[in-house]
Structure formats: C-alpha cells, structure tokens
Chains A and B, each alone.
Chain A
Amino acid sequence: MSLRRLSLGLFAALVAGTAVAQTAVRPAPLKSGIEFTGAEVRALQNDEFANPAMLWVLRGTALWTQPAGKDNRSCASCHGDATTGMKSVATHYPQIDKSSGSLINLEGRIQQCRERRQNASPLKYESEELLGLTAFVRMQSRGMPLAISIDGPARAYFERGRDFYYKRVGQMNLACAHCHQDNWGKKLGPEIISQGHGNPYPGYRLEWQTMGSLHRRFRSCLSGVRAEMLPQGAPEYLDLELYLAWRSGNLPVETPGVRR
C-alpha cells in the first residue's frame, strides 16, 4: 500500500507543473488496454472458457429469455435472438435517447426496457443481473469497431465529458489526461500506464476478483487519485463514457474483457 502511494505520489509530483490542453485528442496510435497487460491476462481474455467474465455472460444469456415484470415479457420477446438482433448495437452506445433527448448508455437502455416494456423493477447498477445482461448484449458486438455519434444534441454531453477528462481532481490533483493521455506507455510502479479505453467493460478485473462496469472502473481511478467517487450511473460518468467512446476511435468492443 505504501509503495503504491509512493509511486503514484511521485507521479503526481512529476506531472504537477505540466499544463494540459483542453482540446479533444485521441492517443496515437490507438492501443487497447489488453496490449499493456501481461501474457497471463491476455490468455485469460482470449480463452472463452477460462475467462471468468463468461460466468456473468452465462447469467445474462439466461436472463435474456427469462420473462420478467408484470407484463411477463423477456428481452427476447421483443428482440428475438440476440446473436442477430443485438449484433453491433452496443457499438453505438452511449447515444441520445430519442424519447427523452438525453444521453443514455447500454445499462440505461436495459433499465428503460425493463421499466417501459417489461413493467419490471429496475436492476441495481452493479448487480450481477445488470452486469450479466449488459455484458451479454455488448458481447454481440465483440470485435466490431466502436461507432458513436457526437453530433447534434450529443455534442454538449461530449464537451462536458472532455472537460471532466482534463479536470484536475482529488488530493493528488490529477486529471484523467495526466496518466492516460500524456503518459501512456510509461511505467507506474510495476505497471505500464494504458490509454484508458472503456472497450473491455463490463469486464473482469483481477484486482476486483469480480466483474465490474465501466463506471466502477471510473470509481477505481478516482479513488486512486484520492478524489470523490461518484455513484455508478452519475451524469458526469455518462458524459465521460461518451467522451471515452469517441476517444477510442475505431477500437473494437472487447466485452467481456479481462484486466489486471
């Protein structure tokens, strides 16, 4: 613990003087986080059976056809076979929800379906059910490049997300950009700093010893720099999710990914 504190503290001290640009830029060349992990983590992610995240996907697969709510309808009642009906769908999230005009991510869409189409109670954000369903749906886009839009009403969310990305926060006074934009590829303690893409989530982190959402990953980073952690689903996190999805360019969806 003290070593961790020391390494991140030193890092914070080193980048303290550097100015950060407020323009939206993508890292070049784009590299998925899996390229920064060790061989063991890569092997886990690539092995469809050994990948522990698949246990959650299994749960999601079962939930897809399981009737729920007062209307006793399942996801499949409307969407049919997910392997065809949900193919590439996740590459377009987060997106502007037509009915409300506001930004919604895949978790939010699933919740909306439960509420409006199934007449069912909402799932807790970090619950096994929502993680499983989200991972199952996102997995139908595995290997497909992200393709989100930041035009029209999405623009304002995108800009807020970008501002969040460059804003210094916490006791260490670090912004996302200090690590993942300006210093990716460099060593921090025993690790190599990744570009911080959201493409493997929901995913399995060895550190968590469980499956987690992208928003939980945001919380991890914020706790790392000793900043306030917002609850999963917070509007700030949605903005950031959109910015990150844009920043990931055409990186492929890796859900369910494995990280250290």
Chain B
Amino acid sequence: MKSFFKRRLVLARLAALFALPLLTLRRAHAQSEALDAMVAKITGGAPLRSGRVKLEIPVLADNGNSVSLRVAVDSPMTPASYVKSIHLIAPKNPRPNVAAFFFGVGAGRAQISTRIRLSGSQGVLAIAALSDGSFWSATAEVAVTVSACWDAS
C-alpha cells in the first residue's frame, strides 16, 4: 500500500513537472501569436527588421505606473527619407497598444520621449514605420517592482 501511494506521488510530481512548462509554453505561444497580430496590424505583413531604432528605458522601473522612455530612430528626416511613425507595444499590458506617434513634415528628428504604464516585467517593443515602406524595431526588457506597502489612501 505504502509503495503504491509513493508511486502515485512520484507520478503526480512527474506529471506536474512536465505539465508546468507545457502550460507556460502554451501561454507564451498564445501571447506571441497575439503580439504577431498586433505587429501585423502595424506592418501590414511587411517584415519587421531589428535595428535603426534605439529604445532607452530603465532596466529596473521604480513603479509600473510611470516608466520614462525615449525612442530615437536613425533617419535623416528629409522629404526623401523619413520616419512616418513610431509605435509602442507592451505585450503584457491588459491593452498592449500603448501609443503611436506620427511625424509631420516639420518634425526635425524621429525621436519621442514619454512615460508609460507597465503591468509587470516585460519586453517593451518599439516599431518605426519608414517612408520607404520598411519597418524597424527594438525591444528592451524592463523589470517592474511592486511597492512594499499596500496603499489604500
């Protein structure tokens, strides 16, 4: 009897051991599919290349309510070659589409600074849409800490 229970226990543990990564993988997979769809909405299916975009954001955020960031895209910003827009995505936010910024003719640099909300630690994605129809991106991992004290004030 004893060994039976033991065997049961071992089996259960083994099953749990395998199920856990499977579950997280499945979640990660679902999330990446959702992210792909969001990206496709911006790129229209065009390839997303990494590079030309610089995303400056703290590695460790003091508070997820306000995380300062700067996005700068390498572009001459001339009528022949310019950045049309910059898009910010925080995949783990309840609404991952954070913002989109559009540059007009008088915009001197393809650069923006703002403060965003991050619902937990995650990789923030910045996408730049260029006038030649190409799309460039950068990601940055941000660890978000939760304050030590519960505040009901």
Using a CB–CB cutoff of 8 Å, the interface residues on chain A facing chain B are 1, 3-5, 7-8, 37-41, 43-44, 188-191, 206-209, 212, 216-217, 219-221, 223-224, 229, 260
Contacts and interface: CB of A to CB of B under 8 A. Distances in A.
Given A3-B146, A38-B60, A209 B66 contact: yes
B150 A8 contact: yes
B107 to A, nearest CB: 20
Contacts of B63: 206-207, 260
Contact of B146 (A4, A41, A44, A229): A4
Contact of A40 (B62, B146, B152): B62
A208 B151 contact: yes
B81 interface: no
A260 B149 contact: no
B150 A5 contact: yes
Given A38-B58, A38-B60, A40-B61, A223 B152 contact: yes
A38 B146 contact: no
B58 A189 contact: no
Contacts of A260: 62-63, 147
Given A37-B62, A206-B62, A260-B62, A220 B68 contact: no
Interface residues of B, number: 18
B147 A207 contact: yes
Contacts of A7: 148
Nearest to B57: A40
B58 to A, nearest CB: 6
A188 B152 contact: no
A224 B62 contact: no
Per DSSP, chain A at the interface is: helix
Given A38-B60, A40-B58, A8 B149 contact: yes
B65 to A, nearest CB: 5
9 contacts: A38-B58, A38-B60, A40-B58, A189-B146, A191-B145, A217-B153, A223-B150, A223-B151, A260-B147
A37 B149 CA distance: 15
A45 B65 CA distance: 16
B110 to A, nearest CB: 21
A208 B65 CA distance: 9
B148 to A, nearest CB: 4
Contacts of A38: 58, 60, 62
Report, nearest first, the 6 A-B pairs whose CB atoms are least far apart. A224-B149, A190-B145, A189-B148, A219-B153, A206-B63, A223-B152
A216 B148 contact: no
Contact of A221 (B65, B66, B67, B149): B149
A41 B65 CA distance: 12
Given A4-B146, A40-B58, A260-B147, A206 B152 contact: no
